[in-house]
Structure 1
């Protein structure tokens, strides 16, 4: 085997891996995020978990990819460690589909229909149909189907290139000696399979290489079996690398994958070679193995090991927990861990996680607002410290969310997902600004405390009414944001306009007090600053409502602006009704104080 053959072999492996990636990506797009959602909604039924793990892996053509998704879901708290055990077991079964597809090359028949299903015919046909769909079709789903078919064709082109590259090995004198050593010492075969698979990070590709090698006729069952078992161990390297820097449970998920394959290999080696030692080797043991034999053993091994281990899923979970000890994570780490980069390849799940963190951010913003305004009545240094701590967390959330959403925007997204990212970026910025204005209110409270500023009873009553109005608009905004409810969001703008009217009236009443000498200039400056901050919080609640309203309509770019125009021109009956109700509840109360 010359250097040219080695280069050809490398090219074949590259094509195989790329084809598998393209095919899996096309299938995942066709599924529209439903595979990840199915994983997310798993019950504690181990059999359902195994089934879904097998189906998802069969579709994306990689047990490593499925396990990496699982690591991300566990890290984000979407999936429990117990659920992950079943999915990982199923992933090992699903990954055998590629080898079963490759074995179709062994079909021997004069039937035109059967010949059509041989990869030598089916792969180029699929590639031709796929490229036509991908280049000419207008529908997104048709293009995604075309991508999947092109990937299928590329995968088998890589397989054919590998087979052609290893053909000179038929006359090799060294390789049979190596394979004989592996036959006599299966541990060497396991190590070889594990190392090669870890290097290319794909058990399907390494099985494909083994199937290509089997076309030479120089590899027998005795040598192939331990290599196949080792390949299952080698594929664990990808999720282990993915778990670096993740939560404890995410690391445990990766270890479950490793333990499952190592223990399964030990059990199988003991059973097969123990039986061989006691009863003698089966008749086919030293016969050449073909693609079909490799594919069937690969499937048989993974199915049998999974069936054997299902009753012991809890023990495997305990072993992973023992290996990675529990350490208490701070609430901040738990919240930010939800934004896991491993989920960026699954936009539907990633956006759900973003929604969860924005929801937490909105609650923190409301908490800080309520704490801040409480200081205007009763100063407490501990509350100041708590507000500062929460504000720091809100800032961290903003930074993480913005970076995460920007990273997500570079993935392949649907139009709906792209618009959703834009809306969420606006929501994040508005909640961060609400947090800032709440911090400004604490500074006002500190200034009042340090300079012994005391408001008149009338000013305190006025402020209390405004504070209650802003509290309500914040609560409505949070509820609308949590459910992305446009009808609830329409309740925000009338209240925001009421708050604007209240602030203007309070400023006028404040000027009257100053003229009458009822309050000091210094107290007046602080009072006006409080009004400004409360008004700005309401303004950002208005922005939140408009973003939610705009995100729900087909003409998203114009809907929120049209709504504002109709509202302020008093041509929106619903808006006018809400506005009159809010003015009656809050503005009228202000007027009564003035009287």
Structure 2
């Protein structure tokens, strides 16, 4: 029983070390990874390359596949493109096997693992720069990972000391092809239990090293692990739409098809891997025998055989199936049929779905959140354009269009609420300094966009009131006001463009301030003219008051746009005081 708990503890430490390394790498390279993710759309080959890079960087195929399922669920990634990314993720995860084979078994890191943890902790507590602190966390995770491997090797008993266990395994290992199937099933179950293919690979390599199983049976377990690891994506897709389920199922189909063809060539394929690795070590074998270090060479050869088998299997599987991606897409669409009248997930439903899998994706989620913020800006701009269209048609009953705009305003509120919760969820996890600034910036922008959508809807209700009351004052149709609305629309489009770039230069901000000043002058000029016409009796008081209120709402929209631009440059300044455009006095009505 003590041995069992030691093995469980070693695996727990291994998982924690892997998680710490993955999180640290995401913090260090988060923005670069998000840039890679933006290139995932396109052709399947670009998707393979993206999946390979992201999975290699974060050392977790689960994070990549869950992210892909999320993208498909949101409609940001097509199913055919998603299959390419999943293929790349399968190849990227083989890097973990090489890390374990080379560092955990080839080199004796147990003696330096603890000092690495110590150095990492010193860096974490002593460093002032966040990137250096994050590198310290990476060192801690790296040290813990190989401490765990050392404990695991020591915890698993040598097979020679337990002949009864040897007899038990032999009873299943000499059944020919049936043995391959039995150990393949064991690999599936093992990965299902530990829910991490890296841990399953570490266990498999330890079993080989301790002499529990030979290379052929270990290779069969690796094939099972390739099937078992697909369950993460399957579970992640449970709350998604049909396309999300198809993407997860495509992952499973891709791996199962690969395992099926591999079983037909299993013996010659493992023989080829044997010959390749034996060729690598042929020059070292004589030297190892001379110094009596054959055991180390044997262990190194076995672990490298497994790593090479894992890599070659996934690489060849991609080469074989990459030309059949359209057929694979049709297959999963045939098996998982669309539900009648199924609607694609709304942005706010998608964000809730995304938050449920934040632990798997870490900082990579922020890219998704930023995309939805841009979507919120597009909805607000659409509402303002709807107002100008309705306002310029005072004699037409546009109730249907108004109802549609009301629905957009409700969706804006829901999306803003979901985005706020999403970014709050982000802050509950440790983020890099750059990502923390991104979260703060987006929280400020979301509040501004929500207020802007409220102002736009208020304008729509005023336009509707104008139609009901049949106000015919000529000032409501004046060229000056039409020009004013056009300039506000240009200002909104400029803010939207800067939001897409997620950056604004000092020159752009200065130009925005000049535009804001110009808009304020136009508004004041129109307001004075309206008041003068009311005093002269040329315009009705009620119509004039309604027009002045419209001007006030337009001014607020300009102010919110200016605040968004300032938040892109420095979000913290908006917490210091009233929401006033930079360099501007408090605007008077």
Task: Name the structure 1 match of 2:231.
Answer: 237
Task: Name the structure 2 match of 1:581.
Answer: none
CA distance in 2, matches of 1:554, 1:439: 26
Change (3 A) 1:222 1:438: closer
2:546 to 529, 538, 542: 529
- CA positional deviation for 1:125: 4.3
Aligned residue runs from structure 1 range 7-46, under 5 A: 7-42=5-40, 44=42, 46=44
Aligned residue runs from structure 1 range 199-210, under 5 A: 199-210=193-204
2:388 to 365, 370, 393: 370
CA distance in 2, matches of 1:182, 1:537: 78
Task: Name the structure 1 match of 2:294.
Answer: none
Using the size of structure 2 for normalisation, the TM-score is 0.81
Task: Name the structure 2 match of 1:583.
Answer: none
Task: Name the structure 1 match of 2:443.
Answer: 425
Matched-pair contact (CA < 8 Å) for 2:79–2:247:
yes
2:156 partner SS:
helix
Aligned residue runs from structure 1 range 43-122, under 5 A: 44=42, 46-104=44-102, 117-122=107-112
Matched-pair contact (CA < 8 Å) for 1:489–1:549:
no
- CA positional deviation for 1:271: 1.9
- CA positional deviation for 1:496: 4.1
Change (3 A) 1:565 1:371: closer
Cα deviation, 1:317-351, whole Å, max 9, x if unaligned, reads 33223233346765773686478435663155235
Task: Name the structure 1 match of 2:531.
Answer: 508
Aligned residue runs from structure 1 range 565-580, under 5 A: 566-568=583-585
Structure exhibiting the larger radius of gyration computed from Cα positions: 1
1:227 to 221, 238, 242: 221
2:14 partner SS:
helix
Change (3 A) 1:177 1:16: same
- CA positional deviation for 1:476: 0.8
Task: Name the structure 1 match of 2:513.
Answer: 490
1:366 partner SS:
helix
- CA positional deviation for 1:82: 3.0
Task: Name the structure 1 match of 2:307.
Answer: 295
The size of the alignment, in residue pairs, is: 544
- CA positional deviation for 1:494: 1.2
Task: Name the structure 1 match of 2:275.
Answer: none
Change (3 A) 1:347 1:332: closer
CA distance in 1, matches of 2:527, 2:405: 28
Matched-pair contact (CA < 8 Å) for 1:474–1:541:
no
Cα deviation, 1:48-88, whole Å, max 9, x if unaligned, reads 54344333323322222221222233334444333332332
Matched-pair contact (CA < 8 Å) for 2:105–2:303:
no
CA distance in 2, matches of 1:529, 1:35: 51
Matched-pair contact (CA < 8 Å) for 2:523–2:551:
no
Matched-pair contact (CA < 8 Å) for 2:237–2:245:
yes
Change (3 A) 1:533 1:42: same
- CA positional deviation for 1:41: 1.0
Matched-pair contact (CA < 8 Å) for 2:377–2:449:
no
- CA positional deviation for 1:189: 1.6
- CA positional deviation for 1:208: 0.5
Matched-pair contact (CA < 8 Å) for 1:248–1:326:
yes
Matched-pair contact (CA < 8 Å) for 1:335–1:357:
no
Structure 1 runs not aligned, ≥5 long: 109-116, 277-283, 571-595
CA distance in 2, matches of 1:426, 1:296: 50
Matched-pair contact (CA < 8 Å) for 2:347–2:415:
no
Matched-pair contact (CA < 8 Å) for 2:242–2:338:
yes
CA distance in 2, matches of 1:44, 1:511: 59
- CA positional deviation for 1:448: 5.1
- CA positional deviation for 1:11: 0.8
Task: Name the structure 2 match of 1:455.
Answer: 471
- CA positional deviation for 1:428: 3.0
Using the size of structure 1 for normalisation, the TM-score is 0.80
Instruction: After superposing the two structures, state which structure 1 stretch, 205-214 or 50-59, moved more.
Output: 50-59
Matched-pair contact (CA < 8 Å) for 2:441–2:571:
no
CA distance in 2, matches of 1:36, 1:442: 38
Change (3 A) 1:434 1:45: closer
The two structures, once aligned, show a CA RMSD in angstroms of 3.7
CA distance in 2, matches of 1:183, 1:227: 15
CA distance in 1, matches of 2:393, 2:444: 29
- Residue 147 of structure 2 is aligned to residue 157 of structure 1: yes
Matched-pair contact (CA < 8 Å) for 1:203–1:231:
yes
- Residue 137 of structure 2 is aligned to residue 147 of structure 1: yes
- Residue 150 of structure 2 is aligned to residue 190 of structure 1: no
2:492 to 463, 477, 487: 477
Aligned residue runs from structure 1 range 430-449, under 5 A: 430-447=448-465
2:402 to 354, 370, 384: 384
Matched-pair contact (CA < 8 Å) for 1:362–1:431:
yes
CA distance in 1, matches of 2:474, 2:92: 72
CA distance in 2, matches of 1:542, 1:461: 24
Instruction: After superposing the two structures, state which structure 1 stretch, 20-29 or 545-554, moved more.
Output: 545-554
Structure 2 runs not aligned, ≥5 long: 271-277, 279-297
